[in-house]
């Protein structure tokens, strides 16, 4: 099969469909993989490939496949805007998109795809997406806390931020919050993601979902449109640039509940990461707005359960706590936020150390001890 073959013959189409059904059935459903990787075998011919998966946090090889680059291109057959990029290496595509593939039973599995070239060959990283958003309780969030945060956002607008590295479950946590709102409030919810990860069934709320690169040019453009559409709640998949952060703060100031993610490992690291996106002369005013409109900041990681699966490990800052807003506004001793989280349990706050004790029974003893030493 030619590396630049623009179409799929019936024989290859049948072959790729059967491989994808095997990936869905064996890798996603049976092994419960959190990530699937399709690539050419290192050092081999481009026509030789392999499927790998991350299961309970560890990578493992699953099986070999033929024509891995075309197997990836097959998954983009319903995205005519993106498929041509994969057929011309000169374009050097870096693609983020949502795709769907059926298993042998016909049940459809959605994936978040990140595709790029490595050593001249196309590599596809697929993250399986749940069919339904989880409940807050199922991912370890107390309903009393969620009720308080959402009520604050409805009353005066504000920001609920999720911090963590890629693959830490930030989007899943935000989806749980949106589903909680969906089941209780007649809101208009506007989501902007790259790509769209969860598909919501409208219950009491109305959703307008926009995918960057498909429905809108970028996050900032999507936000500008959102603010003209009178939403109650706005989800921003990632605050990755200055204009998006500015628009998010503007939305919070004008009475919208804004949910967004930021790449930072801790609550304390997330604040300056946001502020430093602004020019030096605007950073003081940015801290002032952030301090006034922040509702909560949750940082999280995923840890391996002793009996399989993973669990979220979190620290939670609620801005209502005494001293929190002035500390953020002044920006001089952000480490003091750790003290407020440590003593703010009545508001739902906790530190990583406190949360580690709550989840220790589901962790392997050696992992628990390792994390405890790291926090000491």
pLDDT in tens, 182-207: 999 999 999 998 888 888 999 999 99
- Whether the CB-CB separation of 208 and 182 falls below 8 Å is answered with no
Query: CATH classification of 137-375 is 2.40.50.100, yes or no?
Result: no
pLDDT band at 4; cut points 50, 70, 90: very low
Structure tokens at 133: 């958003």
End-to-end CA distance of the chain: 57
pLDDT, residue 78, reads 84
Most confident of 84-98, 115-129, 208-222, 241-255: 241-255
pLDDT, residue 6, reads 45
pLDDT tens digits, 13-46: 899 999 999 999 999 999 999 999 999 987 766 6
Domain limits, the chain: 10-129, 137-375
For residue 108, the tally of other CB atoms under 10 A from its CB is 11
Q: Which residues contact 258 (CB under 8 A, 6 or more apart)?
A: 153, 157, 158, 159, 160, 233, 234, 235, 236, 248, 251, 252
- Is pLDDT at 294 greater than 60 in this prediction? yes
Structure tokens at 308: 């399989």
Q: What's the predicted TM-score (pTM) here?
A: 0.85
Torsional sign, CA 78, 79, 84, 88: negative
CATH architecture of 10-129: 2-Layer Sandwich (3.30)
């Amino acid at each position: 099969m030619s590396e630049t073959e623009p179409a799929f013959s019936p024989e290859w189409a049948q072959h790729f469909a059967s491989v994808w059904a095997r990936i869905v059935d064996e890798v996603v459903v049976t092994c419960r993989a959190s990530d699937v990787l399709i690539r050419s075998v290192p050092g081999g011919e481009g026509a030789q490939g392999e499927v790998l998966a991350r299961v309970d946090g560890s990578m493992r090889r699953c099986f070999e496949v033929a024509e891995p680059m075309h197997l990836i291109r097959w998954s983009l057959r319903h995205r005519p805007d993106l498929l041509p990029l994969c057929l011309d290496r000169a374009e050097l595509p870096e693609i983020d998109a949502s795709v769907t593939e059926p298993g042998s039973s016909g049940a459809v599995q959605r994936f978040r795809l990140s595709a790029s070239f490595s050593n001249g060959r196309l590599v596809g990283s697929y993250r399986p997406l749940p069919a339904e958003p989880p409940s807050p309780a199922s991912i370890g969030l107390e309903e009393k806390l969620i009720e308080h945060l959402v009520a604050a956002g409805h009353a005066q607008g504000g920001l609920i931020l999720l911090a963590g590295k890629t693959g830490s479950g930030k989007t899943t946590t935000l989806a749980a919050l949106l589903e909680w709102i969906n089941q209780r409030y007649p809101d208009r919810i506007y989501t902007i993601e790259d790509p769209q990860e969860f598909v919501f069934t409208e219950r009491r709320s109305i959703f307008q979902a926009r995918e960057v690169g498909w429905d809108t040019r970028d996050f900032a453009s999507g936000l500008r449109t959102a603010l003209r559409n009178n939403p109650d709640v706005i989800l921003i998949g990632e605050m990755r640039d200055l204009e998006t952060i500015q628009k998010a703060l503007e939305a919070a100031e004008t009475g919208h509940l804004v949910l967004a993610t930021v790449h930072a490992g801790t609550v304390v690291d997330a604040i300056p990461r946001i502020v430093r996106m602004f020019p030096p002369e605007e950073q003081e005013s940015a801290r002032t707005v952030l301090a006034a409109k922040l509702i909560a900041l949750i940082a999280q990681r995923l840890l391996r359960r002793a009996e399989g699966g993973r669990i979220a490990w979190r620290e939670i800052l609620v801005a209502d706590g005494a001293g929190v807003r002035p500390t953020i506004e002044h920006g001089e001793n952000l480490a003091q936020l750790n003290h407020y989280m440590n003593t703010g349990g009545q508001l739902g706050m906790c530190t990583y150390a406190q949360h580690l004790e709550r989840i220790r029974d589901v962790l392997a003893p050696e992992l628990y001890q390792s994390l405890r030493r790291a926090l000491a």
